[in-house]
Amino acid sequence: MGSKRRNRVGFLVALTFGLSLFVSCSTMHYIKVNHNHTERLLNSFYQKNGNAFYLSSTYSNFSTVWTYEEDRAVVYRLQNGRIRQKLSFNGIEPFQFGSLIPENLEKELYQDCPMVLDGDMFGFIIDIDHIRHKDDYPVDISCMKRGNYDSVVIMRLVNDIKSYHLWEVEY
């Protein structure tokens, strides 16, 4: 009787381990697929409008990508590498990126919010004076949303993130 019980327990342990490994590999696959789709959307929006922004988290299978057109913002929410939701916010003021100084952005973002190497990401591709700027910032997005920044551009982005509920994920 002891041998049968040991075999059953051994089988259950092996089954649990196997299922955990399968789920983990599947999740990692969707994280990679979502990251790749986020990058493709960023590049597509940049090619079309000269700007593209994203929010994501390192170990998540979802992200938010958006762009500013002349009088609206277009937002895509992705999950598992697929577009889960497409939103459009009309009647917004045109966005002027010329006042953004990329070199100051990092200093200002990290002034109040720590760099988070295994957490959230904020990034963009924009044209400033016909020069392409692409940056990614590992920053706690919840903290970023609470910040008060000197840069008009950063404040506009943060206000849009809050107003349009671009990142309503709380851990």
62: β partners: 79
Q: Which residue has the tokens 């994920």?
A: 169
Question: Which domain does 90 fall in, by range?
Answer: 2-163
Q: Which among 16-20, 32-36, 75-79, 151-155 has the top mean pLDDT?
A: 75-79
Structure tokens at 152: 């008009």
- Identify whether 92 is part of a domain: yes
Q: What is the DSSP string of 59-72?
A: T-SEEEEEEE-SSE
86 within domain boundaries: yes
> Are the CB atoms for 65 and 78 separated by under 8 Å?
yes
- Domain total of the chain: 1
Does residue 169 lie in a domain region?
no
pLDDT at residue 153, rounded to an integer: 86
168 located within any domain: no
| 170 inside domain | no
pLDDT digits (tens, 9 = 90+) for 141-169: 999 999 888 888 889 999 999 999 998 76
Question: Has residue 40 got a pLDDT over 60?
Answer: yes
Ranking 3-12, 39-48, 97-106, 133-142 by mean pLDDT, the lowest is 3-12
In a domain, 106, yes or no: yes
The type of residue at 52 is A
Confidence of residue 1 (pLDDT cuts 50, 70, 90): low
Distance CA 62, CA 57 (A): 8
Residue 96 lies in a domain: yes
100 backbone φψ class: left, alpha, beta (φ>0; ψ -120 to 50): beta
Cα distance between residue 153 and residue 139, in whole Å: 17
Question: What's the pLDDT band for 11 if we cut at 50, 70, 90?
Answer: low
In a domain, 98, yes or no: yes
pLDDT tens string 42-84: 999 999 999 999 999 877 889 999 999 988 999 999 999 899 9
Average pLDDT over residues 110-137: 87
